[in-house]
Amino acid sequence: MFLDIANIIIIILEAYSCFLFFDVFHPKKKNEDRCGDRIIAIVSLSIFLFFISYYLQSSFLLRQIVGVAIIALTMFLVRKYSLLQAFLIAFVFQGILTATEFLGLLIAKMVVVDINNMDEIEQISVMNIGLITLIVMLMCIILVRRFFRIHHNETVFRKEWIRFVLFPIFTNIVIILMTKAFGEVTALSQAYALYGIGIGLVIMNYYIFHLLDDTIRVHSDVKSDALFMMQKKDGIEMYSALYNSLERQKSESHDFRSISCV
């Protein structure tokens, strides 16, 4: 039961990662980014990804093709992306997700001697390694977001981006140390506890990412508003100076005509 719940949480985080990745290329404005649409997209993707992982386990290529199609169609229908854009971004996301899964598989083969004959504790240990793939995916999203948001003229201090990456790196180190600790675990309850802590750390990473992203967005909005007010003030001062100049010219012209008449 515990592992089933943990697998559902991981699938939801993968769906949320997909949502974050799409949002990098087509960020929504405040009036467009409705919470209801976001929840529908994440829930829909989670359900589809669950069925794909359950029914297409044996066919790697078919799983990739169906995964790209499902992600693209979901984003096309729910988030209103263009169909071509949705398929292209879904293809890139699926590629990154597959690469991180292979990375987790390589680490698992280094940690577990015989990956085909594992006891329950070793299986949980391998699942714990799978959490690293989620953190690596989040770091990839952060780096891609950094690159593309520069081209969208979003000014963010370097230290804020360091905060984005710092916690995932720390989490990966902790999960790796926890994975080594599984070699000394003898009780299944201890393995569940370590795996639960790992899942909690991953969820905390996504939560902190969300908080920092909101902070940066608010900072960007405040800076934009301040720039707009400064430009508005400069415009008012310019028009005021122009008006005073015209008034002086009118006054001087009137005085000249008065002198000429005399």
Question: What's the whole-model pTM score?
Answer: 0.73
44 vs 23: CA distance, rounded Å:
17
CA distances from 117 to 54, 120, 220 (A): 21, 10, 53
How confident is the model over 167-205, as pLDDT tens digits?
Answer: 888 888 888 888 777 777 778 888 888 888 888 889 988
Local structure of residue 118 (DSSP, 8 states):
-
Q: Which amino acid is at 236?
A: I
How confident is the model over 204-257, as pLDDT tens digits?
Answer: 888 888 887 777 776 666 666 666 666 666 666 666 666 566 666 656 554 445
DSSP for 12-74? HHHHHHHHHHHHHHSPPPTTT--HHHHHHHHHHHHHHHHHHHHHSSS-HHHHHHHHHHHHHHH
Q: What is the mean pLDDT of residues 141-150?
A: 74
Q: What pLDDT was estimated at residue 151?
A: 45
Q: Is the dihedral of CA 146, 151, 155, 157 positive or negative?
A: positive
How confident is the model over 28-85, as pLDDT tens digits?
Answer: 555 555 666 677 778 888 888 888 877 777 777 888 888 899 888 888 887 778 888 8
CA distances from 130 to 21, 103, 117, 188 (A): 19, 9, 18, 18
